[in-house]
Amino acid sequence: MEIGKDLVAASATPLVLAILNEGESYGYAIIKRVGELSGGELQWTDGMLYPLLHRLERNDCVEAAWRKSETGRKRKYYRLTDEGMKQLARQQQQWDVVDSALRGIWLDAANAAPQPA
Amino acid sequence: MDSKRTLDERIGEWRSYLRRRQALRDVDVEELEDHLRTQVETLGEAGLDEDEAFLVAVKRMGDLDSLSREFALEYSERLWKQLVVSPEGGESSPVAANEAVVAVGLAVAAAIAIKMPELFGVHFRLDSTPDSQEDILFYVKNFSLFVLPFLAAYFGWKRGLERIHWAWQALPFLAGAVVINALPFEPEGYTQMLAAIHLPIALWLAAGFAYTGGRWRSHEHRMNCVRFTGEWFIYYSLLALGGGVFMGFTLFIFDAIGLNPGAFVEGWILPCGMVGAVLIGAWLVEAKQSVIENMAPVLTLVFTPLFTALLLVFVATMAWTGNPVKVQREVLIGFDLLLVVVLGLLLYTISARDPNSPRGFFDVLQFLLVACALLVDVLALWAIAARITEFGFSPNRTAALGLNLVLLVNLSWSAVLYGRFLVKQLPFAPLERWQTAYAPVYLVWVWVVVVVFPMVFGFQ
């Protein structure tokens, strides 16, 4: 299914924050998790994740550390900070508002829709 | 084993392709590379072979332009290529730090050197009272000897000049020192002024020997020397401007509390600044070499059309009005300067032009510039030649005439080569090589003015 660019962009930040809330992670694993969560529908361009992560790092929402991965390569791991938690809570509130508004109207529309003959 | 190496090679290519994007730093590239490798491994486990896995992984990474645009949005300050003198990451390379120390050290040494004559009662000053005339004359004659040896030393150290080359390098400086000071010049004479004007050029070319690391015969190294000169001149001008503002402020704020630091500014800040900036400018040009585009070719890009238009209009005006060229000494010098400017524009365009790029409008413009300058110059010489036998050969006139002829020969043959390049008879390379091959002519001419002229004209 084709998901609108703006929707993908808007949902990126809350998804990344929520995934990091589950625990420390790195770029590739985050993208894999997004794929799992969306049942394969959300296909992010791999490269686009990193500017987002750097922006979050710049705003102190996440903390980064270079560590040795299991393959022996250097890898950058990201961890949620307190500020990140607050930001996540804020995002959740905003999405709740939007979600209930949409759900409300779609439910009404579904109820009011004429039944196929 | 074999295909693993190919994968590393491919990733290496991809990495260098990424690095060329200014918005991505090395650490970003490392992060993306790790992602790429993990992706390749995962795809490999899913059954793809390495080539396929690499292609898919790169495709999934996303289009490189959008990627660097995203990074650029994040890090907009990176788009202004900052000359960070200590490389970022906090770890400054020892070589760069070394260079800075040596450059600053030599700048200080040159500043001390220029003030040494004070010990012998010769002061650096700008006023023109009768007893300062001697001091001013001394400094005008010897200024380049106080600073250019240090510049040559900096490059000699940097390029690792061999001992025998150091000896050769010292020779022109010693010769220059002897000639300008020991020869019995007539005070107020023209030959002395001419020698004083041409000596710095001679010594600059001599310092070029150190710049090329002794490889002065190589065409590429001579071209690099040309590029260096252009950039250095721009940096020096900017430093001089800043220095002027600095001195202005010094005078102003001390004046505000009723003190006059004029003597200090004139006697210390000005000379030390003038020589120090030479070294610092040279260091900056070398430091920024791979970071910033050369500025001189950009300036020629702007000014070539302007000068071409000017000369075309001038030629048309000359033809229309039929006004003869005024036969005065200044006129000849003026046309010399015109040829120098045109040569400069030509040279710096050549220094930056990719020899493989196709012939374009700018090339035609350049050719017109040279052709018009030649036409104008020949007409001027024609007018003057008739009168020169009347007035005789004075040192000034001969020097101006000689310079004119030297430049004329260069520009004429350049015009021929450029013309043949434009009609596709020749590639661009011969034009480049002509410029650097002609360089020794300038060297010889300059030394002739410094050494031979005084003797021929009886030190007048």
Q: Which residue has the higher pLDDT, A41 or A86?
A: A86
Question: For position A17, what pLDDT does the model report?
Answer: 94
Percent of chain B at pLDDT exceeding 70: 91
Residue B38 is which amino acid?
T
Q: How many domains does chain A have?
A: 1
Question: For position B378, what pLDDT does the model report?
Answer: 87
Looking at residue A25, the DSSP 8-state letter turns out to be B
Sign of CA dihedral B104, B108, B113, B114: positive
pLDDT tens digits, residue range B382-393? 777 766 667 677
pLDDT tens digits, residue range B71-127? 776 665 555 555 444 444 333 466 777 888 899 999 999 999 888 888 887 777 777
Angle between helices B295-321 and B329-352 (to 10 degrees): 140
Say yes or no for a CB contact (<8 Å) between B31 and A50: yes
Give the C-alpha separation, B443 to B199, whole Å. Answer: 10
Beta bridge partners of A75: A67
Residue indicated by tokens 């030599």: B106
A5, A13, A26, A28: which to substitute to probe chain B, counting the most B Cβ within 10 Å? A28
Chain B contact set for A27 (CB, 8 A): 31, 34-35
Residue A105 within a domain: yes
The CA radius of gyration of chain B, in Å to the nearest whole number, is: 28
CA-based nearest distance A106→chain B, Å: 35
pLDDT band at B376 (very low <50, low <70, confident <90, very high): confident
CB B378 within 8 A of CB B311: no
The SS3 call for residue A76 is strand
What's the distance, Cα to Cα, between the start and end of chain B in Å?
Answer: 80
**Average pLDDT in the B138-163 region?**
87
pLDDT band at B1 (very low <50, low <70, confident <90, very high): very low
Tokens of B102: 């040596």
Question: In terms of Cα–Cα distance, which of B262, B270, B243, B271 is closest to B116?
Answer: B271
Which of B194-198, B214-218, B377-381 is most confident? B194-198
Say yes or no for a CB contact (<8 Å) between A48 and B67: yes
Residue A116 within a domain: no
Query: ipTM, 2 decimals?
Result: 0.79
Give the C-alpha separation, B399 to B416, whole Å. Answer: 26
pLDDT band at A77 (very low <50, low <70, confident <90, very high): very high
Q: Which residue has the higher pLDDT, A85 or B26?
A: A85
CA-based nearest distance B60→chain A, Å: 6
- φ/ψ of residue A68, rounded to 5: -85, 130
Question: For position A30, what pLDDT does the model report?
Answer: 92
pLDDT tens digits, residue range B49-77? 888 888 888 888 877 777 777 777 666 55
pLDDT tens digits, residue range B9-29? 888 888 877 777 666 777 888
The SS3 call for residue A110 is helix
Query: Domain with A68 in it: what CATH number?
Result: 1.10.10.10
Question: For position A54, what pLDDT does the model report?
Answer: 87
Say yes or no for a CB contact (<8 Å) between B35 and A28: yes
Residue A56 within a domain: yes
Give the C-alpha separation, B44 to B429, whole Å. Answer: 49
Decide if pLDDT at B186 tops 90: no
Give the number of other Cβ atoms within 10 Å of residue A96's Cβ: 10
B25, B31, B76: which to substitute to probe chain A, counting the most A Cβ within 10 Å? B31
Residue A65 within a domain: yes
CB B418 within 8 A of CB B366: yes
CB B47 within 8 A of CB A32: no
Average pLDDT taken over every residue of chain B: 83
pLDDT band at A80 (very low <50, low <70, confident <90, very high): very high
Please tell me the number of Cα atoms within 13 Å of B41 on its side-chain side.
Answer: 10
Beta bridge partners of A65: A77
What's the angle, vertex CA B58, arms to CA B54 and CA B63, rounded to 5?
A: 165
Decide if pLDDT at B290 tops 80: no
Decide if pLDDT at B438 tops 80: yes
CA-based nearest distance A80→chain B, Å: 18
pLDDT tens digits, residue range B252-277? 898 888 888 888 888 888 889 999 99
Range(s) of the domain holding residue A73:
5-111
CA distances from B251 to B237, B238, B240, B272, B407 (A): 21, 20, 16, 17, 43
CB B222 within 8 A of CB B436: yes
Helix ranges (H only) for B46-93 are 50-61, 64-74
